[in-house]
């Protein structure tokens, strides 16, 4: 109980102080009284009492130390003392706090991003009950796949909807682009197709109106939508939802049922949706089209593993019932062997995870290393500061301050710095991570991430601050508290006898800094060079001046028999737009994200190959030369012999014996059947060099090109892609858009710049190169500061020695050499150490590099040279100053 | 094995003194120990007060301001129930230690 009184008494601190003083004073008085009673004179009595009592200050300090509440109070006093100390040297305080804020801010920003992408749960009810149903191991490219999350065809979904014992409810969803507004002025928005159970199972309550319910699935005609909060606010100006609220979507007037809450962004972390609309069950769903992601909420008592076991048992029947036809028997056997499993989906799904996980972790490591260098710098600063304050500390120790007390005081000072740095860093982290998110986006694809500070981020920042504080505070504290007061007092503030040991600690820290920044510089150079390799990579076809477009004409109701003619005319019309050099139709845009493959069989082998159906102008438009054989002509149609042009990889893989491309002409390629594409045999009429297909980073794949006129009639669709070559792609795209709008107001035209699109595919590399570059430069700057500081300090300590050397006849050059030898020694050890570390660390980064190895000797050499330049730069001024030392001056101050 | 070490002796002396005198101020405790031990044991004034304050924190003694017989104001300390239990423990411990030390000294 007494302790509570004491803590309350904290605010009456002076009273408590007085009480202790009074108690001790009375003690002394009684002692004096007794001495006088024993016959001493007053003065003698006082002297004897004081001798017996010892130092009253020490006694009071010791009583204080026993008092828990007063201990707390003295911590406050230490804090005030530390604040005063920092105020007295604002330069040091500002540098220290800013360094820490930058370091902690950068770390927190990257962690925040990692948290948002990787760790955070969806804003739904009981997210840990949510489970995603998947084909174990994936579908291996079977059928057509809508997106990275599409594990279900419509028939599969219907089966699971009927059998979902482990789940209280299941739902299906997919992302699907939509067009908002009248056709002539429509623009793309992000749609979310959901089954009727979606919002109910997730437990999302409407913000306005109502959300989609099972009965909304009844019609396949789009008639009802639900708006996201963001869309409702920005596009519908937040008007109250009534039964008369409508929008024009895909050319149809639809009713807006309600609005979802602000926190709900859909199921994909990094994406968002504008409108959600109900799915429907078409009468004859395609059995090979994987479109949906299916999720469910586990019943109480069911684990993911138990649900997986249930699904595995369900799978044979499910895949038997839903198997598509029109495939080879092997393919159908493969389909029937698929097994479903349940995986935790409480944090949603995200393409960002696979794409960015390792790079974000790597960046976190890099920024951690930068923080480490910053800490080493701070530790050196604190050491220098501590040696200046040696006299003060010695006096306090002589006056009876305990080592523990001094240690605590030093830690409070560094803790205060870390705390201020962390607070500022947290403030910095927010805009920094927004910047990061923005840098992940591309010209027409932004990343939507909710960057907020949750408990994980706070915990992370706190841990970083504590670790920082310990790292940069411990050594200086131990050192100054461990000093012997006698020597310190005698040698004064210059600490000439400070001993070699302290200097070697500072040297060691510079060496560590150099080593760590070597690692960072190597990393930065590797990523920058890897990015450059990708940007300058020749994909085997023309990039500049190329644009591509998607033309959609489903609403124009072209009759199937006129389809080919219409497409042909469209290409010709695009070609005749002023400024267009050439244009070609294609079913697949290279490096555009989508892929198309068929299984093929030749005399020498079988496997899969990429297929594109293109018009005869394709190779000329894309600047791809034919190696042998002939190009397509207008006579290659579905009524004539089927022909194909293949690339070198195709030849190597499937026509091994006919290596020389000349011999390949005339060989037959059998394409295996699948829905819409009957089994066919094509004759090779030409060969072409390898070009990149969908990913710059991948090796060339077997590719085959077929005349677009020979696309099976069953595979025709009311849309096509067109590649356009011109001198100025921006102006040309404008011209094409205008021409098409005037001629076909019903047609949907979307045009993109090809080169821009390719660069957009390199966002990850761009981000890595940019950030590691920034961190590398930061590390180098910190090394300059650190090295400069330590050299200046060491030289100040050796002022007398150098003065004597100069007085005895040492030439300036010799003095400069003395200093440079010192820093070059540190550099050498640091670089050797750093090379070892970089090699060890490089193994983790190998997968993120393109066109060079992690142990690239040129890069290591560059980094070493760069550091040498940096070290020379940092030593130049101190060396120069030492060489110009006036010996008389230096010796006089002795 | 007796847990208490010799350093605990000061606490023991103070607790015992307070149990014998009932209530006493710091100076009185010093004087009492000195005179009863016939000047063999002298408690350093500097160590007494930290010990007294620690005991107060632990709830072994309680303190109150009162006037001495020489009409000086002083802080008087008295044992609490916890303090009495503590004293009993420590006395037992001390006897064990003393017995042990005695045995070592007599060993020849």
- The reply to whether A57 touches chain B by the CB within 8 Å rule is no
- The reply to whether A51 touches chain B by the CB within 8 Å rule is no
- Cβ-defined contact of B50 to A63 (cutoff 8 Å): yes
Q: Given this model, what pLDDT does residue A315 score?
A: 93
Please indicate, yes or no, if residue A522 is contained in any of the structural domains: yes
Looking at the fold, whether A742 and A790 belong to one and the same domain comes out as: no
Query: Which of A185-194, A201-210, A859-868 is the least confident region?
Result: A185-194
* A184 pLDDT more than 60: yes
Query: Which of A412-416, A656-660, B32-36, B80-84 is the least confident region?
Result: A656-660
Label residue A496 by pLDDT band (50, 70, 90): very low
Please indicate, yes or no, if residue A83 is contained in any of the structural domains: no
The DSSP element (H or E) to which A296 belongs, if any, is strand A293-298
- Cβ-defined contact of B72 to A30 (cutoff 8 Å): yes
- Cβ-defined contact of A2 to B59 (cutoff 8 Å): yes
* A441 pLDDT more than 90: no
Mean pLDDT of B41-61: 82
A816-870 residue pLDDT tens: 888 888 888 889 999 999 999 988 888 777 788 888 888 888 889 999 999 999 8
Q: Given this model, what pLDDT does residue A99 score?
A: 84
Q: Given this model, what pLDDT does residue A484 score?
A: 66
- Cβ-defined contact of A23 to B74 (cutoff 8 Å): yes
Mean pLDDT of A323-339: 88
Looking at the fold, whether A524 and A610 belong to one and the same domain comes out as: no
Q: Given this model, what pLDDT does residue A144 score?
A: 84
A453-489 residue pLDDT tens: 778 888 888 888 888 878 777 777 777 766 666 665 6
Report the gap between the CA of B100 and the closest CA in chain A (Å). 31
Q: What are residue A55's phi and psi, to 5 degrees?
A: -70, 120
Residue of B48, B53, B73, B77 to mutate, testing the A interface (most A Cβ within 10 Å of its Cβ):
B53
The DSSP element (H or E) to which A682 belongs, if any, is strand A680-688
A692-702 residue pLDDT tens: 998 888 888 99
Looking at the fold, whether A492 and A431 belong to one and the same domain comes out as: yes
Q: Chain B window 31-70: which residues touch A at a Cβ cutoff of 8 Å?
A: 31, 44-47, 49-51, 53-54, 56-57, 59, 62, 68, 70
| Residue keyed to tokens 């099976």 | A712
The structural domain count of chain A equals 4
The DSSP-derived string for A224-262 is EEEE-HHHHHHHSTTPPP-TT-EEEETTEEEEEEEE--T
Cα(A435)–Cα(A180) distance, integer angstroms: 29
- Cβ-defined contact of A29 to B72 (cutoff 8 Å): yes
Looking at the fold, whether A525 and A577 belong to one and the same domain comes out as: no
Contacts of B27 in chain A (CB under 8 A): 26-27, 30-31
Q: Given this model, what pLDDT does residue A169 score?
A: 93
Among the candidates A746, A779, A795, a domain finishes at A746
- Tell me the CA distances in angstroms from B12 to B51, B76, B80, B81, B97, one per residue in order: 11, 18, 14, 15, 13
CB-CB contact of B31 with B45 (8 Å): no
Cα(A550)–Cα(A227) distance, integer angstroms: 27
Considering only CA atoms, which of B85, B65, B86, B84 is closest in space to residue B76? Answer: B65
Q: What does the H/E/C string look like for A349-377?
A: ECHHHHHHHHHHHHHHHHHHHHHHHHHHH
* A545 pLDDT more than 70: yes
The DSSP element (H or E) to which A751 belongs, if any, is strand A748-753
Exposure string (b/e) for A329-346, b if CB count within 10 Å is 16 or more? Answer: eebbeebeebbbbbeebe
Q: What are residue A71's phi and psi, to 5 degrees?
A: -60, -45
- Cβ-defined contact of A63 to B53 (cutoff 8 Å): yes
Q: Provide the domain limits for residue A25.
A: 2-73
Report the gap between the CA of A409 and the closest CA in chain B (Å). 22
Among the candidates A346, A379, A394, a domain finishes at A346
Looking at the fold, whether A232 and A332 belong to one and the same domain comes out as: yes
Looking at the fold, whether A394 and A444 belong to one and the same domain comes out as: yes
A348-370 residue pLDDT tens: 888 888 888 888 888 888 888 88
* A500 pLDDT more than 60: no
Looking at the fold, whether A302 and A386 belong to one and the same domain comes out as: no
Q: Given this model, what pLDDT does residue A205 score?
A: 92
Considering only CA atoms, which of A602, A598, A624 is closest in space to residue A611? Answer: A598
Please classify residue A682 by burial: count the beta carbons closer than 10 Å to its beta carbon, then call 0-12 exposed, 13-18 middle and 19+ buried.
Answer: buried
- The reply to whether B91 touches chain A by the CB within 8 Å rule is no
Domain B6-106 classification at class level:
mainly alpha
Q: Given this model, what pLDDT does residue A375 score?
A: 84
Looking at the fold, whether A142 and A239 belong to one and the same domain comes out as: yes
Counting residues of chain A whose pLDDT is more than 90, the rounded percentage is 27
Considering only CA atoms, which of A169, A175, A173, A161 is closest in space to residue A129? Answer: A169
Contacts of B62 in chain A (CB under 8 A): 2
Considering only CA atoms, which of A461, A458, A465 is closest in space to residue A97? Answer: A465
Residue of A27, A28, A36, A62 to mutate, testing the B interface (most B Cβ within 10 Å of its Cβ):
A27
Mean pLDDT of A108-120: 87
Q: Which residues contact A805 (CB under 8 A, 6 or more apart)?
A: A814, A815, A818
Tokens for A516? 């760590």
Q: Given this model, what pLDDT does residue A473 score?
A: 79
Report the gap between the CA of B76 and the closest CA in chain A (Å). 10
Looking at the fold, whether A587 and A736 belong to one and the same domain comes out as: yes
Orientation of helix A390-398 relative to helix A455-481, angle to 10°? 80
- Cβ-defined contact of B72 to A26 (cutoff 8 Å): yes
- List the domain boundaries for chain B: 6-106
* A891 pLDDT more than 70: yes
Q: Given this model, what pLDDT does residue A72 score?
A: 65
Looking at the fold, whether A306 and A373 belong to one and the same domain comes out as: no
Looking at the fold, whether A800 and A711 belong to one and the same domain comes out as: no
Report the gap between the CA of A3 and the closest CA in chain B (Å). 6
Using CB atoms, which residue from B45, B46, B73 is nearest to A26?
B73
Please indicate, yes or no, if residue A225 is contained in any of the structural domains: yes
Q: Which residues contact B33 (CB under 8 A, 6 or more apart)?
A: B13, B17, B41, B42, B43
Q: Output the CA torsion sign for A468, A469, A475, A476.
A: positive
Query: Which of A402-406, A823-827, B86-90 is the least confident region?
Result: A402-406
Contacts of B54 in chain A (CB under 8 A): 66
The DSSP-derived string for A123-143 is SSSSGGGEEEEEETT--TT-S
| Average pLDDT over chain A, rounded to an integer | 85
Contacts of A33 in chain B (CB under 8 A): 70, 72
Contacts of B53 in chain A (CB under 8 A): 63, 66-67
Tokens for A199? 């919002």
Label residue A229 by pLDDT band (50, 70, 90): very high
Looking at the fold, whether A457 and A312 belong to one and the same domain comes out as: no
Label residue A9 by pLDDT band (50, 70, 90): low
């Amino acid at each position: 109980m007494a302790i509570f009184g004491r803590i309350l008494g904290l605010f009456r601190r002076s009273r408590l102080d007085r009480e202790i003083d009074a108690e001790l004073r009375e003690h002394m008085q009684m002692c004096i009284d007794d001495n006088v009673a024993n016959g001493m004179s007053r003065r003698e009595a006082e002297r004897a009492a004081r001798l017996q009592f010892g130092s009253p200050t020490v006694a009071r300090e010791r009583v204080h130390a026993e008092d828990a509440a007063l201990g707390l109070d003295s911590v406050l006093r230490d804090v005030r003392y530390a604040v005063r100390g920092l105020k007295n040297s604002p330069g040091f305080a500002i540098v220290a706090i800013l360094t820490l804020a930058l370091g902690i801010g950068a770390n927190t920003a990257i962690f925040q991003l990692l948290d948002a992408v990787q760790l955070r749960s969806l804003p739904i009810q009981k997210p840990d009950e949510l489970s995603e149903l998947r084909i174990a191991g994936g579908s291996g490219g079977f059928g057509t796949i809508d997106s990275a999350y599409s594990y279900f065809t419509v028939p599969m979904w219907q089966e699971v909807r009927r059998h979902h014992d482990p789940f209280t409810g299941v739902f299906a969803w997919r992302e699907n682009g939509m067009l908002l507004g009248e056709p002539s002025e429509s623009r793309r928005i992000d749609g979310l197709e959901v089954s009727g159970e979606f919002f109910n199972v997730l437990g999302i309550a409407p913000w306005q109106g109502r959300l989609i319910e099972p009965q909304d699935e009844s019609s396949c005609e789009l008639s009802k939508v639900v708006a996201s909060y963001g869309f409702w606010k920005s596009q519908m100006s937040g008007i109250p939802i009534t039964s008369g609220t409508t929008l024009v979507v895909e050319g149809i007037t639809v009713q807006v049922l309600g609005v979802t809450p602000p926190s709900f962004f859909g199921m994909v972390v990094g994406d968002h949706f504008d409108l959600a609309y109900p799915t429907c069950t078409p009468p004859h769903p395609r059995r090979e089209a994987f479109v949906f992601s299916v999720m469910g909420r586990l019943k109480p008592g069911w684990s993911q593993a138990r649900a997986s076991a249930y699904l595995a048992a369900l799978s044979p029947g499910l895949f038997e019932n839903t198997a598509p036809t029109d495939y080879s028997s092997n393919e159908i056997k493969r389909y029937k062997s698929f097994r479903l499993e349940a995986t935790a989906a409480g944090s949603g799904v995200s393409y960002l995870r696979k794409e960015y996980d390792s790079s974000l972790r790597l960046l976190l490591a890099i920024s951690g290393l930068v923080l480490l260098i910053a800490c080493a710098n701070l530790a050196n600063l604190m050491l220098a500061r501590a040696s200046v304050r040696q006299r003060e500390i010695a006096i306090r120790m002589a006056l009876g301050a305990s080592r523990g007390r001094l240690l605590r005081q030093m830690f409070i000072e560094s803790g205060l710095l870390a705390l201020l740095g962390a607070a500022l860093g947290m403030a910095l982290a927010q805009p920094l991570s927004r910047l990061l998110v923005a840098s992940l986006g591309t010209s027409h694809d932004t990343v939507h991430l909710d960057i907020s500070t949750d408990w994980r981020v706070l915990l992370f920042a706190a841990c970083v601050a504590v670790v920082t504080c310990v790292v940069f505070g411990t050594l200086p504290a131990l050192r100054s508290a461990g000093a012997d007061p006698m020597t310190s007092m005698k040698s004064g503030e210059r600490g000439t006898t400070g001993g070699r040991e302290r200097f070697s600690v500072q040297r060691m820290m510079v060496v560590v800094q150099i080593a760590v920044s070597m690692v960072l510089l190597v990393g930065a150079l590797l990523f920058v060079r890897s990015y450059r390799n990708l940007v300058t990579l020749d994909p085997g076809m023309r990039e500049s001046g190329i644009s591509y477009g998607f033309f959609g004409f489903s609403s124009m109701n072209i009759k199937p028999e006129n389809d080919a003619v219409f497409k042909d005319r469209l290409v010709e019309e695009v070609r005749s737009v002023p400024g267009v050099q050439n244009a070609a139709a294609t079913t697949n845009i290279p490096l555009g994200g989508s892929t198309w493959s068929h299984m093929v069989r030749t005399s020498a082998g079988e496997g899969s190959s990429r297929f594109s159906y293109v018009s005869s102008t394709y190779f000329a438009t894309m600047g791809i030369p034919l190696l042998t054989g002939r190009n397509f002509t207008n006579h290659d149609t579905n009524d004539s012999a089927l022909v194909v042009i293949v690339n070198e990889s195709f030849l190597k893989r499937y026509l091994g014996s006919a290596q020389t491309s000349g011999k390949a002409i005339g060989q037959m390629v059998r394409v295996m059947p699948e829905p819409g594409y009957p089994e066919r045999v094509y004759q090779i009429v030409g060969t072409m060099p390898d070009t990149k297909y969908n990913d710059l980073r991948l090796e060339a794949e077997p590719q085959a090109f077929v005349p677009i006129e020979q696309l099976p009639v069953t595979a025709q669709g009311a849309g096509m892609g067109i590649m356009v070559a011109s001198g100025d792609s921006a102006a040309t795209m404008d011209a094409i858009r205008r021409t098409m709008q005037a001629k076909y107001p019903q047609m949907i035209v979307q045009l993109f710049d090809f080169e821009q699109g390719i660069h957009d595919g390199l966002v990850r590399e761009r981000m890595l190169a940019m950030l590691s570059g920034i961190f590398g430069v930061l590390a180098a700057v910190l090394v300059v500061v650190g090295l400069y500081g330590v050299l200046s300090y060491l030289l100040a300590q050796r002022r007398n020695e150098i003065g004597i050397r100069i007085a005895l006849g040492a030439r300036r050059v010799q003095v400069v050499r003395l200093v440079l030898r010192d820093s070059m020694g540190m550099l050498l050890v640091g670089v050797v150490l750093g090379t070892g570390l970089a090699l060890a660390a490089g193994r983790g980064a190998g997968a993120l590099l393109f066109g060079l190895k992690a142990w690239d000797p040129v890069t290591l050499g560059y980094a070493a040279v760069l550091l040498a330049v940096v070290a020379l730069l940092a030593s130049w001024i101190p060396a120069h100053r030492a060489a110009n030392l006036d010996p008389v001056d230096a010796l006089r101050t002795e | 094995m007796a847990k208490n070490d010799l350093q605990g002796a000061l606490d023991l002396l103070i607790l015992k003194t307070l149990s014998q005198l009932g209530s006493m101020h710091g100076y009185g405790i010093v004087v009492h120990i000195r005179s009863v031990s016939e000047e063999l044991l002298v408690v350093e004034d500097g160590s007494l007060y930290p010990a007294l304050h620690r005991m107060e924190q632990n709830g072994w003694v309680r303190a109150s301001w009162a006037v001495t017989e020489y009409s000086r104001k002083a802080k008087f300390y008295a044992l609490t129930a916890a303090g009495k239990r503590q004293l009993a423990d420590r006395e037992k411990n001390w006897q064990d230690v003393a017995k042990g030390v005695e045995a070592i000294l007599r060993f020849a």
